[in-house]
Every structure is written in C-alpha cells, then in structure tokens.
Structure 1
Amino acid sequence: MRVHICAVGRLRSGPERDLLDDYLTRFDRTGRPLGLGPATVTEVEDRKGGGMAAEAGLLDRAIPKGAVTIALDERGKLLTSPDFADLLGRWRDEGRGDAAFVIGGADGIDASLRQKADFKLSFGKMVWPHMLVRVMLSEQLYRAASILAGTPYHRE
C-alpha cells in the first residue's frame, strides 16, 4: 500500500525537513517487506489567496483516485501507536492500494474535504504547527511499520 502525505505549504530545508526525510526513509526500509510504501510527500500552495476552500481543492486533486483518505484534524480520533499500526495493516490487507494523509494549512482543513475523508485522525487536543505534523506523522508511520514487523523500536 503506497502512502501519500498531501500537505499545504512547502517544507524548506532545516531540522523538520531532515527529520521528515529520515523517518520516511526508515518507513520505506521497514515497510516495503510488509507491503507498505513507498511514502511520498505532495505539497500544495494556494498562491492566489483563496483560503481554506482553495487549499481543499488543491489537496483533493493531490489525493490518488481510490485512496483511503485520512484527514489529520484535532477533532479526529485519538489512537495508540499499536492501534494505528493495526489500522494501516487492515487497510493493506483489504487491498487498498493507496492511503492519503491530508494535512491542512495554518487554519486546518476545509469542512468540505474533512467530511469526504474516510478517517479523521488526531494527534491530541492541542493544535500543532502544520509543518511539525508532517514529522509526527512520518515518525508514527515508521513506528507502525516497526510494530507490524515486530522490531524493538516500539516499546509499550
């Protein structure tokens, strides 16, 4: 199952980019033998100032057809890392070819796109910087692959 991170904004070089790249490389290495990966990042920018609705249109076009769509949203469901791993494994086992994780801009994800998502995932009640959420998601993807592979990275 290919994994797509579809996000608003461009992540420039720096510590966040380094962490994102590192965790996605780890995810690809651990996940491929399990049928997970590769992971790609698609960044969109609304250069015309159309706000959340315009961002939603750009994000919607970045999501592969038929992908299970996961909106990262503070109102979403809280999962433990093992539960997240089980969810990824279930989608893979159901034959889903693509999973698209959608990260909105500074104001979040437009309600129209959020409602279309198959699943809404929260990293807690706090609001996180949308650039940092990419790093947090990539780490959790790597952790999920590690859990499914039975490696010692995740300790309960």
Structure 2
Amino acid sequence: MGRARGGPEAALFEHHNSRLRPPLVLREIPEGQGAPVEIRRREAAAILSALPDGALAVAMDLGGEAPDSEGLAAMATGWAESGRALAFVIGGAEGLDPVVLARADQRLSLGRLTWPHMLVRGLLAEALFRAQCIRTGHPYHRAWRPG
C-alpha cells in the first residue's frame, strides 16, 4: 500500500531488490481514505484485485510466522517449488483486512516489532536476498555468528 516518494526507505528497497535474482516487481496501490475500518475495506478490495490469478499470496502480518534467516530460505525453496507466481502483500498504516488474511496462503512476520509499511519493503527485500544467498551458498549470510 502507498506510493514511495523517494527517500531512505525507497533507497533501501532499491538497494536490496537490485541484488535479487529475479528482482521483485513492486506494484503500488494508493492508500485508502476514511475511517480505519473503511480504509482496510477499500485497501482489501484493491489488493485482492491486484493479485495475479493463482498467485501464492504471502501476507506480511505481525501475527504470521517469524522464521530465522535459514527458515525463510527453506520457505523460499517451498515457494519456488510450488510453481506458482509469488505475491507479498504489505498493508497500509491500518494493517490488512481479515479478508486479505483469509486469502493469503501464508502469513509472514518480520518479528514482533511493528514497522512502517514503507520500511517493510526494504526489510523484506533484504531478508529475501539473504535467503537467496543461503540457498545458493553465497557468503553474505554469516551463520557462524552467535544469535
């Protein structure tokens, strides 16, 4: 949700997305207006209509699974093996409507902290790049470091 207007959040996304193979295709949807429940309803309709047919939808949600980097790499392997188009769904400031969460094939969390939705783009791109490196044996991820 929302349109990036440049700045550090957009630069973070671009930096990590440019390293992904293939890079993510970002589809921006204007944020809804009105009361919070109305915003979520309007954004849900826009999100659901933007999802490609048959896509494996991963909703970025605070209540979703919060894997470590190796766990995300394993999830990414499963997503790739599904043969389906993959779509990550990032809600706006009001979060995702329950109808979007119900449509999602999986819910993924970046941890228990709440992040601004524009920052989630960059964090997700970095996490996916790290997962890609783990899957390909690239040394970017330093698994030997203590947790």
Aligned to 1:93: 81
Contact kept, 8 Å, 1:114 with 1:120, in 2: the verdict is yes
Q: Which has the higher strand share?
A: 1
For residues 12 and 99 of structure 1, the distance between their equivalents in structure 2, rounded to whole angstroms, comes to: 25
In structure 2, runs of 5+ residues without a counterpart are none
For residues 92 and 16 of structure 1, the distance between their equivalents in structure 2, rounded to whole angstroms, comes to: 27
Computed over aligned residues only, the root mean square deviation of the Cα atoms, in angstroms, reads 1.3
Structure 1 length normalisation: TM-score?
0.85
The residue type equivalent to 1:75 in the other structure is: G
Identity of aligned residues (%): 41
Contact kept, 8 Å, 1:78 with 1:122, in 2: the verdict is yes
Shift of 1:80: 0.9
Aligned to 1:20: 13
Contact kept, 8 Å, 2:93 with 2:116, in 1: the verdict is yes
Selected match of 2:24 from 27, 39, 42: 39
Structure 2 length normalisation: TM-score?
0.90
Report the secondary structure of 2:18's partner residue: helix
For residues 122 and 87 of structure 2, the distance between their equivalents in structure 1, rounded to whole angstroms, comes to: 15
For residues 105 and 19 of structure 1, the distance between their equivalents in structure 2, rounded to whole angstroms, comes to: 18
Map 1:5-154 → 2, pairs under 5 A: 8-28=1-21, 37-46=22-31, 49=34, 50-96=38-84, 98-154=85-141
In structure 1, runs of 5+ residues without a counterpart are 1-7, 29-36
Contact kept, 8 Å, 1:46 with 1:58, in 2: the verdict is no
Contact kept, 8 Å, 1:52 with 1:108, in 2: the verdict is yes
Aligned to 1:34: none
For residues 81 and 31 of structure 2, the distance between their equivalents in structure 1, rounded to whole angstroms, comes to: 36
Contact kept, 8 Å, 2:31 with 2:92, in 1: the verdict is no
Shift of 1:48: 5.2
* Greater mean deviation of Cα atoms: 37-46 or 19-28: 37-46
For residues 101 and 30 of structure 2, the distance between their equivalents in structure 1, rounded to whole angstroms, comes to: 18
Contact kept, 8 Å, 2:17 with 2:125, in 1: the verdict is yes
Report the secondary structure of 1:43's partner residue: coil
